[in-house]
Chain A
Amino acid sequence: DGGITQSPKYLFRKEGQNVTLSCEQNLNHDAMYWYRQDPGQGLRLIYYSQIVNDFQKGDIAEGYSVSREKKESFPLTVTSAQKNPTAFYLCASNSGTSGNPDTQYFGPGTRLTVL
């Protein structure tokens, strides 16, 4: 059963804590993305990776970090430096091949709440 999985579905963070959100895909996609969505807002790009061991900052990277050690995995760490982390976090991936080079497919999301 192919797709993108994210865990956990819900996550609660205390002030000053770092937390890591998991994103795994078995679609053999090269590119992976992390977005943040606030209520009533569109998706804002945090980080993206087009190949293993390489990633780039998106529009709102401050307070976040990522790694891409395996093609299938792109975890996102929300650090204590992120002052307003409560949001819905979405991971996406695409193949980067010809045909549908840009179509991104999304995981189910992680809802992060700061206590």
Chain B
Amino acid sequence: QKEVEQNSGPLSVPEGAIASLNCTYSDRGSQSFFWYRQYSGKSPELIMFIYSNGDKEDGRFTAQLNKASQYVSLLIRDSQPSDSATYLCAVSTGGGNKLTFGTGTQLKVEL
């Protein structure tokens, strides 16, 4: 069964620190990896995606992918209270556009 695993948290970090969110996946055929942010009671919004091994940076966010270890992570630099949300990892396997989602990690950025 194709699975995507995330630590449910909550992960608490002080304001200004780096938050590190992790995700592992079981299907070695997975090709595309996505991070979504979901505020309480709202729908998920895309933060960024990554296809290739290595790092991809977008502003304060960096996605890291290691296909050999079947591991994808999201780093949030200079964390702000507005970053407090649940972060969903999603994985797509080639041949279709379906996504498999993890259960999400709740991030709390404390003043």
Contact = CB atoms under 8 A, between A and B. Distances in A.
A102 B32 contact: yes
Nearest to B104: A42
Nearest to A30: B97
A103 B34 contact: yes
Given A42-B88, A43-B88, A103-B49, A108 B42 contact: yes
A106 B97 contact: no
Given A40-B8, A42-B104, A43-B88, A104 B99 contact: yes
Interface string B23-47: 0000000001010000000111110
B22 interface: no
Interface of B: 4, 8, 32, 34, 42-46, 49, 88, 90, 92, 96-99, 101-104
Given A102-B32, A105-B46, A106-B43, 20 more contacts: A40-B8, A40-B103, A42-B88, A42-B101, A42-B102, A42-B104, A43-B88, A43-B101, A44-B101, A50-B96, A102-B49, A102-B97, A103-B49, A104-B97, A104-B99, A106-B44, A106-B45, A107-B43, A108-B42, A109-B42
Interface of A: 31, 33, 35, 40-45, 48, 50, 58, 90, 94, 96, 100-109
